[in-house]
A and B are shown apart, each in its own frame.
Chain A
Amino acid sequence: MSMILYVPDDAAALSVGAERVAKALMVAAGERGLDLKLVRNGSRGLLWLEPLVEWEGPDGRMAFGPVPPGEASGLLEAIVAGGDHPLALGPTEEIDYLKNQERLTFARVGVIDPLSVRDYEAHGGLAGLKTALTMTGEAICEAVLQSGLRGRGGAGFPAGIKWHTVRKQETAEKYICCNADEGDSGTFADRMLMEGDPFTLLEGMAIAGLATGARRGIVYIRSEYPHAISKMSRAIEALEEAGWLGGNIRGSGKDFRVSIRRGAGAYICGEESSMLNSIEGRRGTVRSKPPIPAIHGLFGKPTVVNNVLTLATVPMILAKGADFYKEFGMGRSRGTQAFQLAGNIRRGGLVEKAFGVTIRELIETFGGGTATGRPFRTAQLGGPLGAYVSDEMLDLPMDYEALAENKAMLGHGGITVFDESVDMAEMARFAFEFCEEESCGKCTPCRIGAVRGRETVEKILRGENVARNIALIEDLCELMTDGSLCAMGGLTPMPVLSAIRLFPEDFDRAPALAAE
């Protein structure tokens, strides 16, 4: 009988040596004449434990980690002898971090072989598409609407409404465009999903096609994600081969083809209209709205633009029903969210939880506080355009509305933690610098405002006319919020103003030379 071990080939796991562990395990097995089968799964999302090796033992999957490549041989020895090893973590599913999650979208990530259609189906995959094939487009859109699913890319717009709009357009050609640009610092959930369960995204896109009458899908993946690009390409081939993508899906008479486009290193291409321009082979500048992409999108045709996680959640909704999904969450934030714990955090990784979990639970209970062990100072929620939060805000629930009321936002669910050594004036400077680097340049408040903002914070950093310059920044931020065409310029004030509001002491600089 062969022995089965799981070693992730997720990019994060590879970045800390998973490939070397896999090779070392194969070599060690060869030396012992063991029949070892390695499954290259996605990551469980317990990233501080990567490379995390699992053994399919008589009592289920047992975890070991983090496994340094040099440990591989000893680990194999220990597993043969029954599984006792200093790196043993017990049954994977029983690890608190995982056990206390509510994994719906990520249910299969890290569990299955990402490129095995058979494994996918055995774990509930394709049930949603099978259901959708028996429904009308209108009924599918309605189910998505009823589930309460809102766009997971940041803006939180109800997916069902968008789909209904595209469905109602009377054009032969329509598109489903998946936004896999994921440029926010502190986020990696889209990448993890594409690498760990690519079929669920493709299944979601096919369902979106059936729902709206689109026969073509495009996944726009950032070039910084070569592993995801290669996994997704192979997944498309595998699903086409199995007849679930392509022409005449499983004899239904319906077609749905998917192709991949690579980004080219521009953050603004995550903004939906820039992304469409980029897919059309042009510069990624923002289009003014209206018209919205649902009416006038890719090549001027009605287009669904959804985030990876929005689309990847749909198969589960159709398989288990809108009500099942809606049961999770609070208020108008239904279902679950993939929170990403990043930065200076002891147990960084992916936590999927129903909306309503508090920031403190995520950072302290799951995350275990800072990685450096120094006191927590702040966390930025929702990527580079999101607000910083203070200690006092940690008991806020993660919910679109509750965060908005407190001048913060959920964005794509990233939580980037900082310890006390952070200089918030420097972070405000960086926010402007990022906007300066990544602005598409179309409108003045963003293009010029970012430069002036950075220069003004630099003056504050030097202690020049601090009070006056802070007032100037507040003024500038108001202008950027009101006058920018998109959220790049419109939301850059979020991190800046939250830093000034919550950490005024960091801006209160004495003139550098006055002391001399």
Chain B
Amino acid sequence: MPATAERPEILEVRALCAEYGNQAPMLLEILHDLQDKLGYIPEMCVPALAECVNLSKAEVHGVVSFYYDFRTRPGGRVTVKICQAEACRSMGAEALTEEILSRYGVTLREATAAGVTFEPVYCLGNCALAPAAMVGSELLGRADGPSLDAAILEAGR
């Protein structure tokens, strides 16, 4: 037993890295899984990640910060991604985003008291059924206020 027991997050990092053979090329996969488990990538995991896959801390930090998917702070309990790209814009995505943000009384990326975070996304591949949104892991087509509310309620359960 080491003198100071490692925190559970660090143990998680070690386990995940081992699962991927401690291979540097698997870093993105490791980060995805880690975020699925912890909800975000805590800053303090970076040194252990770097050590396990044999990269510098700067390199790991560079990867984490480059990709939009990776969060370094805990997000809300329910993440709602609203598409802001052209196809959805052509069907009123901006107005929809504004409407929903003002109704929930938050700005983009700010969690509501109930733990709902709205995030912008550029394309969900549902462009023929615009505007599109993704609530948790559920894709919504022809999204509007009521359908978003219903999906948020469902995902929060």
Contacts and interface: CB of A to CB of B under 8 A. Distances in A.
B139 A266 contact: no
Contacts of B23: 281
Nearest to A370: B90
A185 to B, nearest CB: 3
A282 B23 CA distance: 12
A185 B123 contact: yes
Given A340-B128, A343-B87, A434 B31 contact: no
Which of the listed residues B127, B128, B140 has the most CB atoms from chain A within 10 Å of its own CB? B128
B86 A416 contact: yes
Contacts of A50: 129, 141
B130 to A, nearest CB: 6
B142 interface: yes
Given A223-B69, A264-B68, A281 B128 contact: no
Given A15-B139, A262-B28, A343-B127, A419 B63 contact: no
B34 to A, nearest CB: 12
B141 A342 contact: no
Interface stretch (A186-194, A241-249, A481-489): A186-194
Given A15-B129, A340-B128, A438-B122, A264 B139 contact: no
A419 to B, nearest CB: 7
Nearest to A11: B139
Nearest to A386: B86
A334 B89 CA distance: 33
Contacts of A340: 127-128
A42 interface: no
B155 interface: no
Nearest to B140: A15
B128 A380 contact: no
Contacts of A224: 121, 123-125, 134
Nearest to A384: B86
Contacts of A349: 128
Contact of A416 (B28, B53, B127, B134): B127
A23 to B, nearest CB: 14
Contacts of A223: 32, 69
A345 B27 CA distance: 41
B91 A12 contact: no
Contacts of B40: none
Given A11-B125, A262-B32, A342-B127, A282 B139 contact: no
A14 B139 contact: yes
A264 B90 contact: no
Interface string B53-88: 100000100110011111000000000000101111
B63 A343 contact: no
A462 to B, nearest CB: 18
B130 A183 contact: no
B38 interface: no
B123 A15 contact: no
Interface residues of B, number: 44
A414 interface: yes
Given A261-B28, A380-B86, A416-B90, A47 B123 contact: no
Interface residues of A, number: 60
B90 A188 contact: no
Nearest to A262: B32
B66 A284 contact: yes
B4 interface: no
B126 interface: yes
B146 interface: no
B137 interface: yes
Given A15-B126, A281-B28, A343-B127, A371 B91 contact: yes
Contact of B128 (A342, A430, A437): A342
Contacts of A510: none
Nearest to A17: B141
A185 B139 contact: no
Contacts of A345: 128
Contact of A266 (B68, B127, B130): B68
B46 interface: no
A281 B26 contact: yes
A48 interface: yes
Contacts of B87: 185-186, 342-343, 414, 416
B8 interface: no
Interface in A369-385: 371, 380, 384
Contacts of A384: 85-86, 122
B141 A12 contact: yes
Interface in B14-69: 23-29, 31-32, 53, 59, 62-63, 66-69
B111 interface: no
Contacts of B142: 16
B139 A343 contact: no
A348 interface: yes
B155 to A, nearest CB: 14
Nearest to B86: A185
A265 interface: yes
A427 interface: yes
Contacts of B123: 183-185, 187, 224
A187 B127 contact: yes
A264 B67 contact: yes
B127 A11 contact: no
Contacts of A313: none
Given A48-B128, A280-B25, 14 more contacts: A11-B139, A15-B139, A185-B123, A282-B63, A283-B67, A299-B25, A342-B128, A344-B90, A371-B91, A384-B122, A414-B87, A414-B127, A430-B86, A434-B85
6 contacts: A183-B123, A185-B123, A265-B68, A281-B23, A285-B66, A380-B86
Interface of A: 11-12, 14-16, 47-48, 50, 182-188, 191, 223-227, 261-267, 278-285, 299, 340-345, 348-350, 371, 380, 384, 414, 416-419, 422, 427, 430, 434, 437-438
Interface of B: 23-29, 31-32, 53, 59, 62-63, 66-70, 83, 85-91, 121-130, 132, 134, 137-142
9 closest Cβ contacts across the A-B interface? Answer: A348-B128, A185-B85, A342-B127, A264-B67, A15-B141, A265-B68, A281-B27, A343-B90, A265-B69
